[in-house]
Amino acid sequence: QKEVEQNSGPLSVPEGAIASLNCTYSDRGSQSFFWYRQYSGKSPELIMSIYSNGDKEDGRFTAQLNKASQYVSLLIRDSQPSDSATYLCAVNKGVGSGNTPLVFGKGTRLSVIA
């Protein structure tokens, strides 16, 4: 079983719709969870971090964490064409403070259609 799994997509949504991106992880000791956005040819850009079960909202983005189900999701409301990118789910490896190297999924490619 891969450590962090994401659907590779592409996920296509119309402009203005909600995009829902999902991620599962295998290490029950993980404590820190992140979503990065990566445009083609660029480096990953951090958009959300979440450490506790539940929802965390920041502007149009909402991250959801369920540690019992080992599941993390990202919702993007009012999707814009500029949101078209690959979204990477990342989880810290190992047990500890949570400040450890990250394990990434392969990413989900999102396409927002105008």
- What are the residues binding other proteins (CB under 8 A)? 4, 32, 34, 36, 42-46, 49, 51, 88, 90, 92-93, 97-99, 101-107
Q: Please, which residue, 17 or 71, has the CB nearer to other proteins?
A: 71
Q: How far is the CB of 31 from other proteins (least distance, A)?
A: 8
Whichever of 16 and 51 has its CB closer to other proteins, that residue is 51
Say if residues 83 and 19 touch (Cβ distance below 8 Å).
yes
Instruction: Mark 21-41 as b/e (b = at least 16 C-beta within 10 Å).
Output: bbbbbeeeebbbbbbbbbeee
- Comparing CB distances to other proteins, the nearer of 76 and 105 is 105
Question: Shortest Cβ distance from residue 46 to other proteins (Å)?
Answer: 6
Residue/partner pairs of 51-55 with CB below 8 Å, 24 or more apart: 51/98
